[in-house]
Structure 1
Amino acid sequence: MPQELEIKLTLEPAPADDAYRWLSSLPETSVGPTKRLANTYFDTPDASLNRLKAALRIRKAGDRYIQTLKTQGEFVAGAHRRLEWEWPLPSAVLDRDLLLATSLVDSVSLDELKPVFETNFERRILMLDDGKAVIECAFDRGEIVSGGQSVPLCEVEFELKSGQEDRLLYWASKLGEQVSFFINLISKAEQGYFLAGVHRPASLSAGAEPVSKLFHGLSRLWLTGELPQEYVEAVAELKAKETKTDWRTEIELFERLMAEPSSAKVSDLGKAQLALLRTGVADE
């Protein structure tokens, strides 16, 4: 069963352009294609796919159509690991029969699947090969649309294609020396569901490690404007955790946000996230 491991970064448009210019200038990178992607996401009227933490879409790229099913999976030290199925289609019509071989067949009424929202954006690809890993760097800019409403979309996704998993964090850290961003654990699909008024992202499971809970709480703050309880709990867990490294300086910003959530700045959040991950606290 295929899996993907990626780190997703949210940026403002100007830093995203700077990030692309910097990465494309490196000897380790090669410039890939630029694509216009139109994505329609499907669910049932009672949002059963969303409740299962899965996402189903049809993507149009040029004259090609691809049907994709993804699970939420798990978050590990800022990266996202999840199951993914992809099937080529002859047109933009959903093929429900392809879903019969997945876990959805016993959990979702396939006949009730309907379009819910769209994510439409331009994707610029850079391939990064440093001898230790091959990473696809996808620069996405566009909008999420539902029911006559839209919100901007500006992200960079680092997806590991082969090699060492820790190179994702290494290259995210190198990029963080050039531009401001934050590590966002809220997917495009979750953003679309929120815009459609179908779903507000829920907390990670109680057994999730505290760094992922903290990052997920920050991502929910960014999306909803409200600081969730999982964030407060994660900060408390990290403060109580015995570690071999001193990361107290990095946690100070996260503590201040509890008193004034509106003070969150993308530049500060990304730096603090990367500094916290570099301490190794997520692996202890």
Structure 2
Amino acid sequence: MKPPIPLEVEIKLALPPTGPAALSQHPLLASVPVSQHALANIYFDTPTNDLAKARIAVRLREIDGNVLHTVKTAGQGSGGLSQRQEWEWQAPGPQLDLTALAKLPPFQGELAQALPSLVPTLRTDFTRRCWQLTSGLSSIAATETDNHIELVLDQGEIISGSYRTPICEIELELKRGEPEALWTLALALAEQVPLRPSDSSKAARGNMLSAQHWPLPDAQTPAQWLHRATLALDAYHDSQQASFLAKAHQAINTLAEHPELDALARTYALALPSALDAQGQPQAAYGSAALALAYRLAY
């Protein structure tokens, strides 16, 4: 029997500049020890961007004197929640381990030919603060499951050639338990922290930054319109092109009028436009409404 493919289940939340300070004061974190690390990350692709086209990320990460090798596939989900295949192991040195890569499922087909051509394409350098949440979750999650969530706050930048864009985000990763706990924790944070769901990984943001091209998916269902709005906000903050902020508002307005929404979901959708400021940053009400809407559309 083959071993199960490892899955990463997480919610990604983008923060405005005021977000980190608000997060550090949240009562859920008051008695939880925090660790801090400087992370230097190099992403690899072929000169023709074969991995980006396949939505696969290959990364070397230096942390505390160790080098970690990571491979991730495309995330499935929206509203900030994603599930993706992930493989991670300690690398023997600061070079790609092509032998180990060749054994992984993403490189069993045509992409196997791409391995010898991999070169560095972008960097993400940031400081990570990390909290391990276990016992405190019982006060917010209506479940008896033994949950463990790793909450990280990343602050730094993505560097791709001459282009740079800031990183200021929370990731909630489910280490043990049920995804329900991720939603309840995210909603609890949103009560006091200005935030918004983000559907773009650091690697995807770097690839689009390098290409100076931010494609948006077509949408028909309410969940697809929410996903399009979220990606448009991600694109606006990395590109600083006002057209993407306009497209985000257009997607939100279309979502609010969608005939498939029930009354409660429509209430959440109608609250979104006024909860974004003129710079496309979330005010306090945005995160709560967007997360509640995403949860309702997903379940």
Matched AA of 1:116: T
Aligned to 2:52: 50
Alignment partner of 1:17 is 2:33? no
- Listed one character per residue, the Cα deviations across residues 11-61 of structure 1 (whole Å, up to 9, x for unaligned) are 13432122023256445xx32421111000000001000000111110000
Distance in 2, Cα, partners of 1:231 & 1:256? 10
> In the superposition, relative to structure 1, how do residues 70 and 6 fare at CA in structure 2: closer, same or farther (>3 Å)?
same
Aligned to 1:81: 83
Aligned to 1:157: 171
> In the superposition, relative to structure 1, how do residues 189 and 23 fare at CA in structure 2: closer, same or farther (>3 Å)?
farther
Residue 77 of structure 1 contacts residue 277 of structure 1 at CA under 8 Å; is this kept in 2? yes
> How many angstroms does 1:163 deviate by?
1.2
- Listed one character per residue, the Cα deviations across residues 182-214 of structure 1 (whole Å, up to 9, x for unaligned) are 111111111211232265344278789334344
Structure 2: runs of 5 or more not aligned = 139-144
- Listed one character per residue, the Cα deviations across residues 47-76 of structure 1 (whole Å, up to 9, x for unaligned) are 000000111110000111011110113015
Alignment partner of 1:139 is 2:156? no
Distance in 1, Cα, partners of 2:213 & 2:109? 22
Residue 36 of structure 1 contacts residue 61 of structure 1 at CA under 8 Å; is this kept in 2? yes
Distance in 2, Cα, partners of 1:231 & 1:216? 12
Alignment partner of 1:264 is 2:267? no
Distance in 2, Cα, partners of 1:250 & 1:38? 38
Distance in 1, Cα, partners of 2:17 & 2:94? 30
Aligned to 2:141: none
> How many angstroms does 1:231 deviate by?
7.8
Q: What is the TM-score when the length of structure 2 is the normalising length?
A: 0.81
Distance in 2, Cα, partners of 1:91 & 1:100? 17
Residue 49 of structure 1 contacts residue 55 of structure 1 at CA under 8 Å; is this kept in 2? yes
Aligned to 2:265: 247
Residue 57 of structure 1 contacts residue 67 of structure 1 at CA under 8 Å; is this kept in 2? yes
Alignment partner of 1:195 is 2:209? yes
Distance in 1, Cα, partners of 2:222 & 2:54? 17
Distance in 1, Cα, partners of 2:183 & 2:190? 10
> How many angstroms does 1:87 deviate by?
2.0
Residue 70 of structure 2 contacts residue 88 of structure 2 at CA under 8 Å; is this kept in 1? yes
> Which is further off, 229-238 or 117-126?
229-238
- Listed one character per residue, the Cα deviations across residues 99-152 of structure 1 (whole Å, up to 9, x for unaligned) are 112222423311110001100111111011124421100111111112243222
Residue 46 of structure 2 contacts residue 117 of structure 2 at CA under 8 Å; is this kept in 1? yes
Distance in 1, Cα, partners of 2:20 & 2:248? 29
Residue 213 of structure 1 contacts residue 231 of structure 1 at CA under 8 Å; is this kept in 2? no
Distance in 2, Cα, partners of 1:193 & 1:96? 22
Which of 125, 128, 131 in structure 2 is aligned with 1:123? 128
> In the superposition, relative to structure 1, how do residues 192 and 148 fare at CA in structure 2: closer, same or farther (>3 Å)?
same
> Which is further off, 86-95 or 125-134?
125-134
Distance in 2, Cα, partners of 1:98 & 1:85? 11
> Which is further off, 79-88 or 220-229?
220-229
Distance in 1, Cα, partners of 2:130 & 2:63? 14
> Which is further off, 248-257 or 74-83?
248-257
Residue 183 of structure 1 contacts residue 215 of structure 1 at CA under 8 Å; is this kept in 2? yes
> In the superposition, relative to structure 1, how do residues 236 and 265 fare at CA in structure 2: closer, same or farther (>3 Å)?
same
> Which is further off, 115-124 or 216-225?
216-225
> In the superposition, relative to structure 1, how do residues 14 and 209 fare at CA in structure 2: closer, same or farther (>3 Å)?
closer
Superposition map of 1:215-226 within 5 A: 215-224=230-239, 225=241, 226=243
Q: What is the TM-score when the length of structure 1 is the normalising length?
A: 0.85
Matched AA of 2:83: R
> Which is further off, 203-212 or 132-141?
203-212
Q: Give the % identical residues.
A: 29
> Secondary structure, in 3 states, of the residue corresponding to 2:192?
coil
Matched AA of 2:160: S
Alignment partner of 1:104 is 2:122? no
Aligned to 1:274: 291
When you count strand as a share of all residues, which structure comes out higher?
1
Residue 190 of structure 1 contacts residue 201 of structure 1 at CA under 8 Å; is this kept in 2? no
> In the superposition, relative to structure 1, how do residues 199 and 41 fare at CA in structure 2: closer, same or farther (>3 Å)?
farther
